[in-house]
Structure 1
Amino acid sequence: MQRSAFCTLILFLSLTDPSYAGSTPEQRGRAYARNNCARCHAIGRTGDSPFKPAPPFRTLHLHYPIETLGEALAEGIVTGHPAMPQFELAPAEINDLLSYLKSLE
Structure 2
Amino acid sequence: MIIRSVLAVLLLAACTSADPAPQQTAAVPIDSPPPGELGSAARGAVFAREQCAACHAVGDDGANPLAGAPPLREISRRYPVEQLEEAFAEGFVTTHSAMPEFVLDAGQNRDLIAYLASIQED
TM-score by length of 1: 0.72
Corresponding residue pairs, total: 84
Task: Tell me how large the CA RMSD over aligned residues is.
Answer: 1.9
TM-score by length of 2: 0.63
User: How many Å separate the matches in 2 of 1:74 and 1:42?
Assistant: 22
User: How many Å separate the matches in 1 of 2:68 and 2:104?
Assistant: 22
Please give the per-residue CA displacement for 1:56-102, whole angstroms capped at 9, x wherever unaligned.
Answer: 000001101001100000111114x8342211011000000000000
Residues 1-105 of structure 1: pairs in structure 2 closer than 5 A: 25-79=40-94, 82=96, 83-105=98-120
In structure 2, runs of 5+ residues without a counterpart are 1-29, 32-38
Q: Output the amino acid matched with 2:116.
A: L
Which stretches of structure 1, 4 residues or more, deviate above 4 A after TM superposition? Answer: none
In structure 1, runs of 5+ residues without a counterpart are 1-18
Q: More helix by proportion, 1 or 2? A: 1
**Which of structures 1 and 2 has the bigger CA Rg?**
1
User: How many Å separate the matches in 2 of 1:52 and 1:75?
Assistant: 27
Greater RCO, CA 8 A, separation 6+: 2
Query: What percentage of residue pairs aligned between the two structures are identical?
Result: 45
